[in-house]
Amino acid sequence: MPGDAYAQIDAIIAAFFGAFDNRNGRSPSLDDLTCLFLPGAIIVRDSGPGCEHCSVAQFAAPRLQLLTNGELVGFHEWETEHSTQVTGSVAVRASRYRKQGTLHGRPYEGTGQKFFQLGRLAAGWRISAIAWADDPDSSLERISAHG
């Protein structure tokens, strides 16, 4: 099972990053994202002097709006490095990522780090929490967790 756990977690994390992809006419949806999380999951973002926390729906709303209203096009983000630890039915994953697209007609890209906590249920692995920080030069830093 340990090898399966890592493969299943890899798939969940890939689906998380893929949920924000709007290349080639793809239209991301809240359902693409919420199915990856446990009920009550939280997302915490480094906002400089402190952190912001929100629900999955609060996190997704401003991002999905940008991805579906034409402001942010050709967008995708992907993992560039990761480390995963599994202990029984819980796991943590540290991910470095990159993102790029075209915002308001101008190219941009950014990088950062996300930390995932996951739990295994009968239905499989799900994300219970994410903490993340964009690198200081990241161009989408101003999109807050609450809008």
- Write out the DSSP string of 20-80: T--GGG----HHHHHTTEEEEEEEEEE-SSSEEEEEHHHHHHHHHHHHHSSSEEEEEEEEE
Mean pLDDT of 60-72: 93
Span 7-49, pLDDT tens digits: 999 999 999 999 999 999 899 989 989 999 999 999 999 988 8
Q: Which CATH class is domain 2-134?
A: alpha beta
Question: What spatial distance separates the first Cα and last Cα of the chain, rounded to whole Å?
Answer: 40
Q: Are 22 and 102 in contact (CB under 8 A)?
A: no
- DSSP assignments along 82-103, one per residue: EEEEEETTEEEEEEEEEEEEEE
pLDDT at 49: 84
CA distance 131 to 42: 9
pLDDT at 124: 93
**Hey, is 134 helix, strand or coil?**
strand
- Give this prediction's pTM: 0.88
Tokens of 90: 């819980």
